[in-house]
Amino acid sequence: MNKDEFGDLLADIGGGREIGIAARRERDAAEQEVLSQHEAQIWALLCLGDALHQFYRDSLDLVRVNISRTAPTDVQIAMLHWHVVSFNRFAAAFDLMAHGYYFEAMVLARDLWEVALSLAGLKRNVVTLNELLASNTRTGREAEELSRKSDAKIRRVLIWENAALSDKARKAVETFGGIANLAMHKSKLHLGLNMSHVVSGHATPIFPRFDVKRASVAHNVFYLSSWSIVSTLPYLDFALGTTNLTWRRRYDKVQVAFREGLATGPNLVVQAWPEIIDQVF
């Protein structure tokens, strides 16, 4: 099959010469409508996300400028690159959420939380870099098993057996993880929402649409995971220069913004998160 023939095939699949344009226009219109609803009703959270995006980017740029003056260890290099990955996932999750992809954003938010825990585990010497990367394994199965063991060890030491954390804080982590797992595993949250539309006699939405209840859940999950990953930025002090007063002032204001935003979230989870940030990260 040559290029023209393959193009004709794609045109047939797409229903016409403008391959996929009709569906794309419909989706774009739906996304913009959701964004406008967010700007009107949850503007503070959108602005917080934009401010964090810029702060995160500026922090990584500061590292880029300073890294050549240091001799980072393997662990420090890994931490840096985990933050590069997390910056992109933060940006993707924020954009998805702002445009109404609530459950998809929660999947990425869960990953931000996982990375933040891994960084805390490294920083506190709970696990080694080799354990996290499963460097000494011979098969994929062994690597998966070691990865699960190291993740479980981090949770056990930093959360479940952490005497500094209250039962309320541990319950908050459990609730947070439960919501994120339901969004990720077989899309149970999204499936449940669609089924509720059927039961109530409403049409099932194909494209994203604004839903204040779902938006609140997604924003809270993203909010807490973002707070966790941003709170590990000082781990890059070898190149970030946490003694840099300009950066430190901005970082302190980030922490204030997160704490001031607590009133927007459910008490069960959000009100316990300052304790988690202080004791785990």
Over the stretch 216-261, which tens digit does the pLDDT of each residue have? 888 888 989 999 999 999 999 988 866 678 999 999 999 999 888 7
pTM for this entry: 0.86
- How many residues are listed for the chain in this entry? 281
Res 266 pLDDT > 50: no
Distance between CA atoms of 56 and 204, rounded to whole angstroms? 37
Could you give the percent of the chain with pLDDT greater than 70?
Answer: 96
What token pair was written down for 269?
């989870």
Could you give the percent of the chain with pLDDT greater than 90?
Answer: 48
Q: What is the pLDDT of residue 242?
A: 61
DSSP code, position 211: -
Report the pLDDT averaged over residues 33-58: 88
Tell me how far CA of residue 163 lies from CA of 4, 14, 76, 118, 275, in angstroms.
66, 58, 28, 19, 12
Instruction: Please give the span between the terminal C-alpha atoms of the chain, in angstroms, as a whole number.
Output: 56
Residue with token string 């500061």 = 62
- Which amino acid is present at 93? A
What token pair was written down for 136?
């000494």
Q: How many CA atoms lie within 13 A of 226 on its CB side?
A: 33
